[in-house]
Amino acid sequence: MNPYLFGCLILLAFWALTLAIVLLKGNKPNQHEFWWGSLVCSLLGFTEPLFVPAYWTPPSILAFYRWDAESFLFCFAIGGISAVAPEWRLWRRSFQTLDAALWRLVRAVLKPFRRLTGTDSPPLDEVHLTAEELKRENALLIAIFLGSFGFTAHTGLNVIYNAALASVAMGVYIAWRRPRLRWQVWSGALLFLLVYTAVLQVVGRIYPTFYTDHWNLKDLSGIWLLDAPIEEYIFAATLGAFWSPLYEAWRDEREAPTLAAVQPADTLQMAGIHGRRVAANDIEHKYR
């Protein structure tokens, strides 16, 4: 068995464990998010030619041109894990509490810039987006990703850094545009980094020359962390920050106590950023 397939199988074991927990919880929205995250992320396997051979040249049991079967398995597994693992109740409450505490510390610094950036208006989370507004927000998400990736591609950096910077841009944009998802950005980064670190360590112990044989080390930083190129850890953290909140941002789905009935005047104020009146029953939705 080649080491890349072996690493994918470890990730699939984490994926299967995540699936078992999701099924045991019996939470249908969480199940939808899990499968959405896995299936959509698997499409990123088509981007593998961007990384071969600029970043690495992976071994494969089935390869065509610069594509390989393992990359689709890899993306499928990491998509489901990073989409729902940060949302499990115990972790979610801990991360949300810590996020609220950290936000109080920086709020005083950000206050002078609120009017300049428009954040003194009600955020998007306070109203349920119409289908047209959601399409516009999703178009902005795609534009941010493609724009940041295209911009960094002209810097002469290795493609792995371009992908990391584009993922960071996406995470920052989601955190700014959807404040209720801010905690998912950095909790997704941390939790997937922990999972991926475990995979890197196991693969590195069983296949000691894997990283030196298949990575384009001369074009990377040369910094190693826990016996693996630091770029692998950067990839894990930035991908988790990007992918964890993406489903809720893309679908405008919310989980948490539903908002009680709101008086029309309050409803109008909450909808001010859209310049439209929202009926009270239009904002009876779930918040995270």
How would you write the pLDDT of the chain (288 residues) with one tens digit per residue? 789 999 999 999 999 999 998 888 877 888 888 999 899 999 999 989 989 998 998 888 887 888 888 999 999 999 989 888 877 777 777 777 777 777 777 666 767 766 666 555 555 555 567 778 778 888 888 888 888 888 887 788 888 998 899 889 888 888 887 878 888 888 888 888 999 999 999 999 999 999 999 999 998 988 999 889 999 999 999 998 888 888 888 877 654 333 333 333 333 333 333 333 333 333 333 333
Tell me the three-class secondary structure of 63-99, residue by residue: EECCEEHHHHHHHHHHHHHHHHHHHCHHHHHHHHHHH
Residue 236: what pLDDT?
A: 92
User: Which among 221, 89, 80, 246 has a CA at the least distance from the CA of 161?
Assistant: 221
Predicted pLDDT at 121: 53
Q: Which own/partner contact pairs does 11-18 have at CB distance under 8 Å and 24+ positions apart? A: 11/73, 11/74, 11/77, 11/78, 11/81, 11/195, 11/199, 12/73, 12/77, 14/77, 14/81, 14/195, 14/199, 15/76, 15/77, 15/80, 15/81, 18/80, 18/81, 18/84, 18/85
Residues 6+ apart with CB under 8 A from 219: 54, 55, 158
Handedness of CA 151, 156, 157, 158 (dihedral sign): positive
The domain limits of the chain are 3-255
Is the pTM value of this prediction over 0.85?
no
Residue 53: asked if its preceding bond is cis (omega within 30°), the reply is yes
